[in-house]
Structure 1
Amino acid sequence: MDFSKSVIPAHLLGDRGSNLVVINPGSANVRIGLAQQDAPFSIPHCIARHTTGANQSPKRNVQDQNLNSQVTTAQHVEREKAYDIIASLLKIPFLDEEVVNNSYPRKMGRVDVLSQQNSKKESMLAWTDVFQKSSSSSLASESPSHKHETSESPDLQEGGSTEKPQTSESKYREYICGEEAMRISPTEPYCLRRPIRRGHLNISQHYSTQQVLEDLQAIWDWILVEKLHIPHSERNMYSALIVVPETFDNREIKEILSIVLRDLRFSSAVVHQEGLAAVFGNGLSTACVVNIGAQVTSVICVEDGVALPHTQITLRFGGEDVSRCLLWTQRHHQTWPPIRTDALAKPIDLLMLNRLKESYCQIYEGEVEAVGVVHSYEDGLPPGSHKTRLTALNVAPMGLFYPTLLVPDVYPPPPRSWFKDYEDMLEDTWHIDFPRRTDISDGLYPGISNPLQMWDNYSYPSNQQKKEDNIGLAEAITKSILSTGRIDLQRKLFCSMQLIGGVALTTGLISAMEERVLHAIPSNEAIDTVEVLQSRTNPSFVAWRGGAILGVIDYGRDAWIHREDWIQNGIHIAGGRKYKDSYYLQAQPMCYINS
C-alpha cells in the first residue's frame, strides 16, 4: 500500500490533491502529476523544435552536442585503471587478459530479469512522425490515472512506420516534446534542446536564457494539456508545488517560479527541496538522502525534518554516464555489433542504452553476461535488430564508486557566469512566526509546545556553498555524514541512508553501497554499522511523492506564493513576503506523520 495513503486521510488526499500539481524537474526527466495520483508521469525533459529555412539541414541536430565530447588520452588511461580495479574486486578478467580462447572456464553470472521486462525493454523504438496529424486521426491522450513512468507509448510499437505523407498540405509539427523528441531522425529539420543539464539550467553561448525558459514553459505546458488535461482556462483553479533539485541556485528557482505563476498561470505555488521531500515520501524524519539521477548525484543529510545545507555534496555523474560506460565496455570486449552508436549526438541511441542498462546491469561478484538485442538507428534507414552477447554487465554500475570509469567530464555542467544574483532569498525567513493551525489539536505535538522552538539556536551560513567533488559515491556519503560533527547524529545517519533515483533500482547496488561506505569510514571514527533503508515508495519518484504529501498536509500556508503577488512584487530584499526555502521547513509535518 502506498505510504502516503496510510498517512493522509482519504478526504484530504481527494479534496486537496485533486487541484494540486506536483512538479519535480530533473536534468533528463521531469515528473509531473496531480497529488492524488499514485504515480507521476515521467517525461524526458527535452523539446525538438522545427528549424526554419527548412531547405537546409540544421546546423545542430542536438543543441549542446559534441560539447567536449572527445575522451582525452589521460582520461582513457584513468578509465582503464578504474576498470582493472573493479575487475579485481569483482573477480573478473582485467582488460588486457585474453579470454577469447577460454583459457579458463567462464562462469555465467545470474541475470535476474523477468522475460516480460526484457521483451519490453528490447522492443524496437520507431522514428517519430514529425508531420501534423488531422484531428480525426490524432491519438487520444493518456488518462491522468496512468500509472506507468514512461510516456508516448503508442509510437513504440515494433516496426512502426514513419514515412512522410505524400500530400502537398503536409506540415511539420512546430515542436515535439518528451520521448518523441528523442526519436526524431537526424535527417529531419529539427533541433533537440535540453533546458536542464547536469543539475542546472542549460544556459550557454549556444542556448540563451530566453530560449531555455521558453523551452521549459513549452514542455511543461504540453504535459499539463496533453497528459493532465488541464487547459489554460482552468489553470487558476490549480496550485503548483515544485520539488527542486539541491543543485538549483537562487536565480534558477526564481525563474522556475516565474514560469509556473506568470506563464503557466497557476493560482499559487510553493517550492520544496528534493532531498527533504524524499525523506517525507518515505515517512522518515532523519536520513542521509543519496539521489542518483540521470546526470547528477547529490547527497544531503536531513535531521528531524530539517535539511542541513553544509552536508550537501554534488557529484557530476549519474545513470546516463553508466549507460555510456556500458557501451564502452561492450566495444572494448568487441561484443557490440558494427553499428554507429553515439549516445551524445543521437538521443535515440541513449534511449536504447538506458533500456539495456535497466534490463541487464547489476552488481554481482563474478562474470555477469547475457544475450540481448541491440538496435541500430542509422540516418535515413529503418531501425535494425542485432542479437549479441553482452559481457561485464557488473562493471558499468561500479563506476558510481570509481567515477573515472565513467569519464563524467565528457558532458560538463553549464558555465556559471550567468549566475550573478546576489539577492539572498533565504534571509530572515526561517524564524518567521507561522500561524498555528487551528484544526490540529495539541495532542499531535508530543513534547513540543512550540513546533518552531528547535530553530532558536540554528545558525545559517550566509554564503551557502554547494560542494562539487570528483570523488566516488561511498566517499561522498561518508564525507557528507561526517561533516555533521556529532557522533550521535553520524551513527544515526549511517544507519539511515536513503537511496533514491532510477539507478537505485539496480540489483546489488544497496549491498555494494553498504560495504563500500563501511570501508570508507576512517578507522579513527567510532562507527561500525551502516544500513540503506528499504524504500516504501518507488525510488524513481519518491521525491515527487513526498512533495505531494507536503502539499496535501498544507502545513505552512504562508509559504505559498500567489500569482498576483509574484507578478506585482516578485521577491526582493526587505520586501514583504519572501520565498521560504525548505532548508528550514517547520517540523509540523513530522509531528503529523509520527502521531
Structure 2
Amino acid sequence: MVGKSRKAARDDGLERTDNNMELSSWPQIAAINQKNYYTDYLKRDDQSLAFRLQNEEARSKMTKAAKDRDRALATAKTSEPAAEAEAEADEDAKMEDTEEAPAEAAGSKVIVIHIGSQNLRIGLSSDALPKTIPMVIARKSATSESEDQEEPKPKRLKRDDDSPVEPEKSFGSEWSAQFNRMSADLKVHMRQNKRRMLPNSKEMVVNYNRRTAPEAISEHNDPMRVDWTELSDPPPEYIVGQAALRVPDLSNPRYKLYWPIQNGWCNERDYKSKRMLFLDISLILEDAIKTHLGLTSKKDWPQYSCVFVIPDLYEKSDVTQILEMLMREFSFARTCFIQESLAATFGAGFTSACVVDIGAQKTSVCCVEEGMCIENSRVNLKFGGRDVTEAFIKMMLHDHFPYAEMNLWQRHDYLLAEELKKNLCTMNEGSVSPQVFDFHLRVAGQDTRKYNFKAYDEVHLAPMGYFEPTIFDNEHKVDARRTLIERSKDIYDGQLNDPVSAAQSEILSALAPPLPSDDKTNGDEPAEPSDVQATPSKPQHPSAVSKVQEAEATPRSSVAGSPAPEAAGTPQAGGAGTPAVKDKESAEKEKAPRPPTVDERDDIIPVYPLDSAILTSIAHAARSDEKKMRDFYGGIMVVGGGSLTAQFHQFLEERLQALRPGFAKEIMIGVPPRDLDPQVVVWKGASVFGKLSGTNDSWIGQLEYDRLGHRLMAYKCMWAY
C-alpha cells in the first residue's frame, strides 16, 4: 500500500471511504502504563492549602517590597515638577502609613486569652499586664448553690438525731488520724532543726478558740464594707465575673453560680448539656472583651487576631470546640494556640526549663527544651490552691474555729476562706507558733462580725497537702466525667487520638487499684503487686529512676525451691498453677504497676505528691541522659497562683534534694525574672508569642478554616497535634 497512488489503491480495493471521521465524539484517552505509574498528589507539604496560602502571602509581600524599592529608585533619579513631587510625597506618606499599620497591629490587634478553673486572664498583646476576671457566671435560678446542697462544705459528720458531733470527730477518724500524724511529723522535723516550740501549743489554740465570742460592728462603722451587687429592674438573666461573686445568696430573684472550667477540664458535673457549657464560656469571654478591652462593637472584632492558651495535656474535642467558637461566634481574623508550659518559658525568657504550674484546681508539670514541650514529660494533677483552701478550713474547724458555721458553698464564706489562706498560710517553719489573728465576717444585710482566733500548725500543714494530697477531698473530682463530652476518636480507625504522656501513664498506673482476687489472667500477664497503693500517701511511689534502681537491686531467683516473693499476699495471676520459681524478668514484670485500661483512666483521680511528680517528669524528659537531667534539675521554674505561698520555693527545693541526694547541688527552684507575678507569666509568654507575626506560621485564617475546619490543626500547630 505504501507508495501506491489513489487509482492503484482503488483498483486493489483499498481506497479510504470513511471521510476521516472518528468513531465517536468522546475524547480517546490512552491507557496508563501500569508498569511505570507514579503521582505525587498530596504527597508534598506545599500542595496543601495551608502551605499554599503561606507561600502566596510571602510572595505578595516580596512583590510589594520590590515595587516599593523600584518606585523609590525611580523617584530619586527623575526630577519632576513641584506639583508632581508633592503628589508623590503624599503617595509615599500614604505608603509609609500602610507600612506602619501592620507593625502597630502586631501588638495592638492581638487578643490573648488564658482561661483557668478560677480566673480568666485576658488582654491585648501590647498590654504590660492582663485583666484578671473570675471565671464564673451567675444565672437566674429557683435556688442558690448553697440552698441546693444538703451538706455544707467541708462536709461534717452528724449523729443519728442530726445533731453535730464534736469538731475533733466531725471529719471522720481517718482524716483526723492523718492530720494528727502530719502534725506529729512536723514537730519531729522542727525539733531536728532546733526550733523552739511549746509542748502544749495545740491545747492553747483549742482552749482560746472555744471561749472566743464575736464582736458586732455596725455597717456604717465598717470602713472595709463590701459593695454587694445591686440587681437592676428587671434583673438580668446572667451576671459575669466579680459582680457574680458579689450577688447575695438570698437575693431576689435567686442566682446560681456556675464555673465552666473545673480541675482543668470542662465542668460536666454541674451542666446538663454541652451547648450550655460552651455558651457560658463564650458569654464570659464576650463580656470580658466588651467590658475590659473596650471593644463594645462586634463589628470591630474581625480586625483582631486571637492567641489562646491550652493545657499541655489537652483534649482535642475541647480544642476543636474552642476553635469553632473563636472563628464562628467571635469572627476573629486569625487564631492560634500555644501550650501553657511553652508560654511560661516565653514569658520568663528561658530556652529550657521544667515548668511547674500550680493553679487553683490543677497542677501541671512539663519539661520544655528549645521551644518544644517534651511529650512524655507532661503531667497533669487534679489539685491546686482551692484544695489548700478547703483543707485549711477543715483543719481550723477541727481545732474549734470560732466561726463553726462556715460553709464554702456560701459566697461570702468562700471569699473569706480565700482571703484567710492567702494571708496566713506559709511554708516557713519559723512562723509555726500559736498566734492570734482576726477576720471580719461580712454578710449582705447583716452587721459585720469581728472574730479573734488562734492558729498553730494549720497554716503550714494545709499547703503541705501538695506533697500529701490524700489530705484533700478528692471524692467528687471525676463525677459525671464523659457524660457530655465524648473522647476524641480517629475518623479512620476509631482509635483514641488525645495526646498521651509516658509520665502521666506511669502515675496513673501507680494509682490504679489492684486486681480483684477472682480475676483470671493468662500466665504471661503480670500479676498486680501488693505494694501499689490506691492513694499516694507516701512519696515512695515508683518513678522512672527508682524503677531502674529497683530493677538493678532485684536478686535473681534460685533454681531450687525458694520462698514466696514479697507480693505473696496478692493473689497470683495463674492461681494454684503458677510456679513459685520465676526468672528475673518475670519478677520485674510482677513488680511493675498494672497499666490502667482506657475506661479506667477516667475513673482514676491523678492526685500524686508534687515532688515525686516533678522527678517523674524530669526522668522521662532526660531519658537516662545525666547531662539533661542535671540541666532540668537546675532549671525548675514554679509559676501559678499556688506558688505564692511564703517560702514555698525553698521548701520544694529541700524536698527534692532529700529525694535525690545525688543531685542535691544541681537542684534549684527558679522564679520568674524581673519580679513578674507568677500568676501572669503564662499570659505574658502568650502575648510575646502573639507579637511574632513574621516568624509565626501557626495562625489559622478564616479562608483556611472555612475550607478545612479543625483539620488545619495538624498543619498549624508547632507540636505533634
488 and 68 in structure 1: CA distance in 2 versus 1, 3 angstrom threshold: same
57 and 198 in structure 1: CA distance in 2 versus 1, 3 angstrom threshold: closer
The answer to whether residue 533 in structure 2 is matched with residue 394 in structure 1 is: no
Matches within 5 A, 1:68-217: 73-90=173-190, 99-100=202-203, 124=224, 126=226, 128-132=228-232, 170-188=233-251, 189-204=254-269, 206-217=271-282
CA distance in 2 between partners of 1:84 and 1:299 (Å)? 30
182 and 58 in structure 1: CA distance in 2 versus 1, 3 angstrom threshold: closer
CA contact (8 A) 1:127 1:183 kept: yes
The answer to whether residue 487 in structure 2 is matched with residue 348 in structure 1 is: no
CA contact (8 A) 2:154 2:394 kept: no
Taking only the aligned residue pairs, the percentage that are identical comes to 25
CA distance in 1 between partners of 2:382 and 2:360 (Å)? 10
| Structure ranking higher in helix proportion | 2
Query: What is the Cα deviation at residue 405 of structure 1?
Result: 2.5
> Which of residues 111, 117, 121 in structure 2 aligns to 1:27?
117
The answer to whether residue 310 in structure 2 is matched with residue 244 in structure 1 is: yes
CA distance in 2 between partners of 1:179 and 1:62 (Å)? 22
426 and 203 in structure 1: CA distance in 2 versus 1, 3 angstrom threshold: closer
Matches within 5 A, 1:521-540: 521=660, 528-536=665-673, 537-540=676-679
CA distance in 1 between partners of 2:223 and 2:395 (Å)? 22
Q: After superposition, what is the alpha-carbon deviation per residue over 1:360-381, rounded to whole angstroms, capped at 9, x for unaligned?
A: 2211124245544323355863
CA distance in 2 between partners of 1:250 and 1:201 (Å)? 12
**Letter of the 2:659 counterpart:** A
32 and 382 in structure 1: CA distance in 2 versus 1, 3 angstrom threshold: farther
Q: What secondary structure does 1:240 align onto?
A: strand
The answer to whether residue 591 in structure 2 is matched with residue 491 in structure 1 is: no
CA distance in 1 between partners of 2:236 and 2:345 (Å)? 41
CA distance in 2 between partners of 1:560 and 1:65 (Å)? 48
206 and 534 in structure 1: CA distance in 2 versus 1, 3 angstrom threshold: closer
The answer to whether residue 698 in structure 2 is matched with residue 559 in structure 1 is: yes
Query: What is the Cα deviation at residue 78 of structure 1?
Result: 3.3
**Letter of the 2:140 counterpart:** H
Which residue of the partner structure matches residue 369 of structure 2? 303
CA distance in 1 between partners of 2:102 and 2:647 (Å)? 38
CA contact (8 A) 1:497 1:531 kept: yes
The answer to whether residue 327 in structure 2 is matched with residue 327 in structure 1 is: no
CA distance in 2 between partners of 1:95 and 1:564 (Å)? 71
Query: What is the Cα deviation at residue 208 of structure 1?
Result: 2.0
- Which one is further off, 486-495 or 70-79? 70-79
Query: What is the Cα deviation at residue 191 of structure 1?
Result: 1.1
- Which one is further off, 550-559 or 480-489? 550-559
391 and 215 in structure 1: CA distance in 2 versus 1, 3 angstrom threshold: same
CA distance in 2 between partners of 1:102 and 1:374 (Å)? 16
CA contact (8 A) 2:201 2:434 kept: no
CA distance in 1 between partners of 2:248 and 2:637 (Å)? 39
Query: What is the Cα deviation at residue 517 of structure 1?
Result: 0.9
CA distance in 2 between partners of 1:207 and 1:416 (Å)? 12
100 and 207 in structure 1: CA distance in 2 versus 1, 3 angstrom threshold: same
Which residue of the partner structure matches residue 507 of structure 1? 646
Query: What is the Cα deviation at residue 581 of structure 1?
Result: 3.7
Q: After superposition, what is the alpha-carbon deviation per residue over 1:489-541, rounded to whole angstroms, capped at 9, x for unaligned?
A: 110000000000012222111110100011122x6x66642001131121111
369 and 356 in structure 1: CA distance in 2 versus 1, 3 angstrom threshold: farther
Which residue of the partner structure matches residue 136 of structure 1? none
> Which of residues 451, 458, 473 in structure 2 aligns to 1:407?
473
CA contact (8 A) 1:125 1:183 kept: no
Query: What is the Cα deviation at residue 488 of structure 1?
Result: 1.1
Query: What is the Cα deviation at residue 415 of structure 1?
Result: 0.8
Query: What is the Cα deviation at residue 248 of structure 1?
Result: 2.8
The answer to whether residue 321 in structure 2 is matched with residue 226 in structure 1 is: no
68 and 357 in structure 1: CA distance in 2 versus 1, 3 angstrom threshold: closer
CA contact (8 A) 2:397 2:404 kept: no
Which residue of the partner structure matches residue 353 of structure 2? 287
CA contact (8 A) 1:426 1:581 kept: no
> Which of residues 289, 297, 312 in structure 1 aligns to 2:378?
312
CA distance in 2 between partners of 1:558 and 1:88 (Å)? 56
The answer to whether residue 425 in structure 2 is matched with residue 361 in structure 1 is: yes
CA contact (8 A) 1:87 1:93 kept: no
The answer to whether residue 132 in structure 2 is matched with residue 46 in structure 1 is: no
Query: What is the Cα deviation at residue 483 of structure 1?
Result: 1.5
CA distance in 2 between partners of 1:365 and 1:514 (Å)? 15
Larger of the two Rg values belongs to structure:
2
Q: What secondary structure does 1:294 align onto?
A: coil
The answer to whether residue 687 in structure 2 is matched with residue 548 in structure 1 is: yes
Query: What is the Cα deviation at residue 557 of structure 1?
Result: 4.0
Query: What is the Cα deviation at residue 382 of structure 1?
Result: 4.7
24 and 545 in structure 1: CA distance in 2 versus 1, 3 angstrom threshold: same
Q: What secondary structure does 1:299 align onto?
A: strand
Query: What is the Cα deviation at residue 131 of structure 1?
Result: 1.3
> Which of residues 99, 107, 111 in structure 2 aligns to 1:17?
107
Query: What is the Cα deviation at residue 292 of structure 1?
Result: 0.5
Q: What secondary structure does 1:322 align onto?
A: helix
Which residue of the partner structure matches residue 137 of structure 1? none
CA distance in 2 between partners of 1:273 and 1:75 (Å)? 37
CA contact (8 A) 1:49 1:176 kept: yes
CA distance in 1 between partners of 2:102 and 2:424 (Å)? 41
308 and 171 in structure 1: CA distance in 2 versus 1, 3 angstrom threshold: same
- Which one is further off, 498-507 or 72-81? 72-81
Q: What is the number of residues matched between the two proteins?
A: 474
CA contact (8 A) 1:130 1:172 kept: no
CA contact (8 A) 1:58 1:190 kept: yes
Which residue of the partner structure matches residue 441 of structure 2? 376
Query: What is the Cα deviation at residue 210 of structure 1?
Result: 1.0
Query: What is the Cα deviation at residue 328 of structure 1?
Result: 1.9
Flag structure 2 segments of 5+ consecutive residues without an equivalent. 1-99, 157-170, 207-221, 491-495, 500-597
The answer to whether residue 710 in structure 2 is matched with residue 571 in structure 1 is: yes
CA distance in 2 between partners of 1:473 and 1:64 (Å)? 33
Q: What secondary structure does 1:548 align onto?
A: helix
CA contact (8 A) 1:301 1:480 kept: yes
Query: Which structure has the higher relative contact order (CA within 8 Å, separation 6+)?
Result: 1
Q: After superposition, what is the alpha-carbon deviation per residue over 1:38-75, rounded to whole angstroms, capped at 9, x for unaligned?
A: 11111110000122xxxx54577679997996766544
238 and 382 in structure 1: CA distance in 2 versus 1, 3 angstrom threshold: farther
- Which one is further off, 468-477 or 267-276? 468-477
**Letter of the 1:43 counterpart:** I
Which residue of the partner structure matches residue 486 of structure 2? 419
Query: What is the Cα deviation at residue 226 of structure 1?
Result: 0.6
**Letter of the 1:88 counterpart:** V
CA contact (8 A) 2:305 2:334 kept: yes
Q: What secondary structure does 1:421 align onto?
A: coil
CA contact (8 A) 2:714 2:720 kept: no
CA contact (8 A) 2:427 2:647 kept: yes
**Letter of the 1:419 counterpart:** E
CA contact (8 A) 1:339 1:376 kept: no
> Which of residues 281, 301, 312 in structure 2 aligns to 1:235?
301
CA contact (8 A) 2:353 2:637 kept: yes
CA contact (8 A) 2:248 2:411 kept: no
Query: What is the Cα deviation at residue 205 of structure 1?
Result: 6.8
Q: After superposition, what is the alpha-carbon deviation per residue over 1:1-34, rounded to whole angstroms, capped at 9, x for unaligned?
A: xxxxxxxxx9998541111111011111111011
261 and 77 in structure 1: CA distance in 2 versus 1, 3 angstrom threshold: farther
Q: After superposition, what is the alpha-carbon deviation per residue over 1:316-339, rounded to whole angstroms, capped at 9, x for unaligned?
A: 2111111112212222222x3235
- Which one is further off, 536-545 or 58-67? 58-67
TM-score where L is the length of structure 2? 0.60
